[in-house]
Amino acid sequence: MKICTYCDASNDDGASVCSNCGAREFEHVCENCETRFQSGYCPNCGVKAGEKPRVCPNCGEKSFGVYCPDCGQRLVPQARSFAETPVQDNPVRSTPSIVGMVVLTVLFPFVGVWVLLMDDRYGRSLKLFALIYCAVCTAALFLQRSWAAGLFCFAPIAGYGLKIAIGRIRNTGK
């Protein structure tokens, strides 16, 4: 439970705004020892803010410990009901997914690498940079045992090698 620091009104643990006065500053009330505190854990007993007591499956005793103080049975955390799940007023943006990060850091640069390697308008220094970039990415992925991604990164090197080989074969046939 949370207590508003301005009007002392009781609020649910999931509240971000006081239901009485609209303030956004709260103190937590420990469900174990009823101590008021502002940090994430009770300074007296160490219970996490908003934590509910565990219920003994044998005798029904509630406790914040791992074992029941009455019968010694191991306690399981009390499941939250759907109604107790906190609702956020301002949804927090989620962090970018790993797939998005891979697309931005690996896929887009490799499209550019293919363009640099296959277009004859670009000079040797840019082509060398593209080849080194591919080689470093391939080595890093192989060291992490990410074989499929490593082969994907190696593809521009192999493709450019085939382009050079085909060009030399054509030149020797003339």
Q: In degrees rounded to 5, what are phi and psi of residue 28? A: -85, 150
Q: Are residues 116 and 65 in the same domain?
A: no
Would 2 be classed as within a structural domain?
A: yes
Q: Are residues 38 and 7 in the same domain?
A: yes
Would 91 be classed as within a structural domain?
A: no
Residue 88 pLDDT more than 80? no
Determine how many CB atoms are found less than 10 A away from the CB of residue 49.
19
Q: Are residues 102 and 159 in the same domain?
A: yes
Q: Are residues 106 and 152 in the same domain?
A: yes
Number of domains in the chain: 3
Would 45 be classed as within a structural domain?
A: yes
C-alpha 153/C-alpha 138 separation (Å) is 5
Contact between 86 and 12 (Cβ < 8 Å): yes
Would 174 be classed as within a structural domain?
A: no
Residue 161 pLDDT more than 80? yes
Q: Which domain holds residue 18?
A: 1-49
Q: 14-65: per-residue pLDDT in tens?
A: 888 998 898 888 888 888 888 888 888 888 888 888 888 888 888 888 888 8
Block residue for tokens 């303030």: 23
**Sheet of 26-29: strands edge to edge?**
10-11, 2-4, 26-29, 36-37
